[in-house]
């Protein structure tokens, strides 16, 4: 066998092996894609639960997602997300993912649940860079500070009292760290004001398409 024939034969063998490997990867991806998507969805639904305490609903929350690109009138200069929550056909609550821009160490991403009457069903801090031992007590894993907003609304307390005690408001601050709570409380209050003004539009809007 000449050198040229040997090279051609090796090349052909490598091409076949590469083809088989590509086909195997593609088949595996195809077979697992649905399961991965279902797992992601279940994880997302589970992570939204803490903001929906005592709310009776059915169906998928994640499928009713509305993505609002800025400027949208909600706190934050990045995209805001709203999940609509239903019992049958009846809207019962909305979950907001918004950003408080004025945290001590950067933006604070907040998950806020609000029932149809504008009463808070739960709050969780999704992302922040606040200082451990100071501002990080907004995280439900570090303290129960965030629990004080459950069952509150713009009537309880009135808008002007959605502030920390030190500023003449209704809510607990964090010792030696007032900047962080101020930012979170303002973002919750502004989201409640938005919900009151846009409730009908929120439930009438079609769900956003998934990104390709
Ligand atoms: C190293 C360092 C980290 C701090 N981290 C935070 C923080 O994460 N959140 C916060 O509100 N204040 C933080 N502070 C304190 C603020 O600078 C500010 O003094 C405080 O928020 C004012 O709260 P007070 O009015 O209750 O004293 C930090 C201060 C230092 C020196």
What tens digit of pLDDT does each residue of 118-142 get? 999 999 999 999 999 999 999 999 9
Q: Residue 22 has what pLDDT?
A: 82
Quote the CA–CA distance of 110 and 187 in Å, as a whole number: 8
User: Measuring CA to CA, which residue among 89, 41, 51 is closest to residue 210?
Assistant: 41
SS3 210: coil
CB 104 within 8 A of CB 135: yes
What percent of the chain lies above the pLDDT cut of 70?
98
139 lines ligand 1 (CB under 6 A): no
Q: Is 182's C-beta closer than 6 angstroms to any atom of ligand 1?
A: no
CA 187, 193, 197, 202 dihedral sign is positive
Alpha carbons 174 and 156: distance in angstroms, whole number = 21
What residue spans define the domains of the chain? 49-204
Give distance in angstroms: CA of 128 to centre of ligand 1: 15
- Going from the Cα of 163 to the center of ligand 1, the distance in angstroms, rounded, reads 17
φ and ψ at residue 61, rounded to 5 degrees? -75, -40
CA 104 / ligand 1 centre spacing (Å): 7
Our answer on whether the CB atom of 130 is closer than 6 Å to any ligand 1 atom is: yes
Q: How far apart are CA 179 and CA 103, in angstroms?
A: 7
Distance 124 CA to ligand 1 centre (A): 21
pLDDT of residue 208: 86
- The pTM of this model reads 0.85
Cα–Cα dist 146/172, whole Å = 10
Residues in the chain predicted with pLDDT less than 50, given as ranges, are 212
Cβ–ligand 1 distance for 132 under 6 Å, the answer no
Cβ of 178 closer than 6 Å to ligand 1, yes or no, is yes
Question: What is the structure's pLDDT at 1?
Answer: 66
Look at phi and psi of residue 162 and say left if phi exceeds 0, alpha if psi is from -120 to 50, else beta. Answer: beta
Report pLDDT for 212: 46
């Amino acid at each position: 066998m000449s050198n040229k024939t040997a090279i051609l034969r090796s090349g052909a063998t490598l091409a076949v092996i590469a083809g088989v490997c590509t086909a195997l990867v593609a088949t595996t991806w195809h077979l697992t894609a649905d399961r991965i998507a279902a797992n992601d969805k279940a994880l997302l639904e589970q992570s939204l639960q803490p903001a929906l305490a005592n709310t009776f609903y059915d169906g998928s929350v994640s499928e009713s997602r509305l993505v609002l690109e800025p400027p949208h009138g909600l706190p934050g200069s990045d995209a805001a997300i709203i999940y609509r929550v239903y019992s049958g056909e009846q809207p019962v609550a909305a979950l907001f993912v918004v950003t408080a821009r004025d945290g001590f160490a950067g933006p604070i991403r907040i998950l806020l649940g609000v029932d149809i009457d504008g009463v808070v069903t739960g709050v969780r801090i999704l992302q922040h860079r606040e200082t451990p031992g100071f501002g990080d007590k907004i995280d439900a894993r570090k303290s129960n500070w965030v629990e004080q907003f459950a069952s509150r609304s713009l009537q309880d307390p009135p808008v002007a009292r959605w502030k920390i005690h030190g500023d003449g408001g209704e809510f607990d601050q964090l010792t030696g760290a007032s900047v962080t709570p101020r930012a979170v409380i303002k973002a919750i209050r502004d989201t409640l004001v938005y919900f009151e003004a846009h409730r009908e539009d929120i439930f009438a809007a079609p769900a956003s398409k998934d990104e390709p």
